Amino acid sequence: MIGIQDVAKKAGVSIGTVSRVLNNNGYASANAREKVREAVRELNYQPNEMARNLLQKRTMNIAIIVPNLQNPYFSELVSECERSLRQYNYKTMLCETNGEKSNEQLYLDMLDRNMVDGILTCTHDLRQDRYVKAQGPIVSFDTIYVPGQIERVTVDHYKGGALAANELLRSGCKRVLQFRDHKTKAEFPFNKRHEEFERIMRENHAECVNVLIRWNEFDDGYFEELCQDCFQKYPEIDGVFGTDSFVLHYMKYVQTQGKKIPDDIRFVSFDGASFLNMVYPTVTCIKQPIRSLADIGVRTLMQKIQGEFVSESEIKLDVELIRGISSMTKEEYQEYQRKRL
């Protein structure tokens, strides 16, 4: 088996020089580096990754904490994070909390015990001080934020709420329903989306009914029960705003009750996960740049792991309106149907 000493002998340099070149740690002349690389190629030398990781005190594992993978946004974000982490030769350990604080606690304990090199988190059921006490780098998506310690990658929720409100107003909605969490922590940025949506609606003399949903609840049975309850309580609703999952469940239910989309009721969803491309009628959505969120979150975590300076403690990305059938006016829908004939 080819070892580091064989590379050193072939290159005509010391073992220490080979180690510095392979680990990119310490000085080696350009000539020495080229000799080592050539020897590695000729000998087809494969470094012992486990030994290297032990030497660098790295596990090459990152924990990703999500509330539930049934939610298409979280499943897509996890997939994009895994893709991005592979570029840094990192593997993923996935924690699906399902609302259990003990699951979240377990992975923070793993960080404290150096069983993972860092955490990307999309949820925050535990108290913030538990995250602050964590012995390792953490980056959050849209949740916890401690300047100088825990960075956050998020989107412009003010704009998202405004785009959704103005789209439903544009299509003529007068009484809208908004799904929002009933115990969302005030500091979470997505509260701004809900507040801005409601403000614009009321400012334009449209009624906004807030339906308070259970925090981190993604069960299909719960969705269906909630849709039935809302339909019975608010039969005059002509517009709906919520995340992709809630909007699709409500769209499905109202159609079973004889409502036509968009003639009778219009919808705008938030997240814009890629599975919406398979839905008909097509859904108007406020689309988050999920791939960019993942890339920036992973890059920021890598900077923290490597001890580099992170210039921005909170990174906010843009959102965009993607218009589908679900928010068309009657005239737009008639024109759309005419063109299809």
Kindly state whether residues 226 and 268 are assigned to the same domain. Answer: yes
Where a domain ends, among 56, 81, 96? 56
Kindly state whether residues 50 and 171 are assigned to the same domain. Answer: no
Kindly state whether residues 216 and 242 are assigned to the same domain. Answer: yes
Kindly state whether residues 25 and 85 are assigned to the same domain. Answer: no
Could you give the count of Cα atoms lying within 13 Å of 264 in the half-sphere of its Cβ? 10
334 lies in which domain range?
Answer: 157-288+321-340
pLDDT beyond 90 at 161:
yes
Across the range 15-19, mean pLDDT stands at 81
Q: In this predicted model, what pLDDT tens digit does every residue of 234-284 receive, in sequence order?
A: 999 999 999 999 999 999 999 999 999 999 999 999 999 999 999 999 999
Kindly state whether residues 198 and 242 are assigned to the same domain. Answer: yes
Q: Which residues lie below 8 Å from residue 69, measured CB to CB, with a gap of 6+?
A: 75, 78, 94, 96
CATH number of the domain to which 30 belongs:
1.10.260.40
Kindly state whether residues 68 and 147 are assigned to the same domain. Answer: yes
Measured distance CA(164)–CA(155) in Å, rounded: 14
Kindly state whether residues 224 and 100 are assigned to the same domain. Answer: no
Share the mean pLDDT of the chain: 87
Kindly state whether residues 24 and 85 are assigned to the same domain. Answer: no
* Of 245, 167, 239, 172, nearest in space to 208 by CA: 239
Residue 114 has a pLDDT of: 78
Kindly state whether residues 189 and 215 are assigned to the same domain. Answer: yes
Lowest mean pLDDT of 36-40, 68-72, 132-136, name the range.
132-136
Across the range 113-128, mean pLDDT stands at 80
pLDDT beyond 50 at 50:
no
Kindly state whether residues 280 and 295 are assigned to the same domain. Answer: no
Strand ranges inside 194-289, DSSP E: 207-213, 239-243, 266-271, 284-287
* Of 73, 145, 7, nearest in space to 319 by CA: 73
Phi and psi at residue 96, in whole multiples of 5°? -100, 105
> Quick one: 203 exposed, middle or buried, by C-beta within 10 A (0-12, 13-18, 19+)?
exposed
Long-range contacts of 307-315 (CB under 8 A, 24+ apart): 310/151, 312/151, 313/145, 313/147, 313/148, 313/151, 313/152, 314/145, 314/147, 314/151, 314/152, 314/153, 314/154, 315/151, 315/152, 315/153, 315/154
At CA 161, angle to CA 160 and CA 164, rounded to 5? 85
Measured distance CA(339)–CA(327) in Å, rounded: 18
215 vs 77: which has the higher pLDDT: 77
> Quick one: 217 exposed, middle or buried, by C-beta within 10 A (0-12, 13-18, 19+)?
middle
Lowest mean pLDDT of 107-111, 201-205, 235-239, name the range.
107-111
pLDDT band per the 50, 70, 90 thresholds, residue 56 = low
For the chain, the domain total comes to 3
For a pLDDT cut of 70, what percent of the chain falls above it?
A: 91
DSSP SS3 for 228: helix
Kindly state whether residues 42 and 106 are assigned to the same domain. Answer: no
Highest mean pLDDT, choosing among 8-17, 43-52, 136-145, 198-207:
198-207
Kindly state whether residues 311 and 329 are assigned to the same domain. Answer: no
Q: Specify the pTM.
A: 0.81
Residue 99 has a pLDDT of: 67
CATH number of the domain to which 194 belongs:
3.40.50.2300
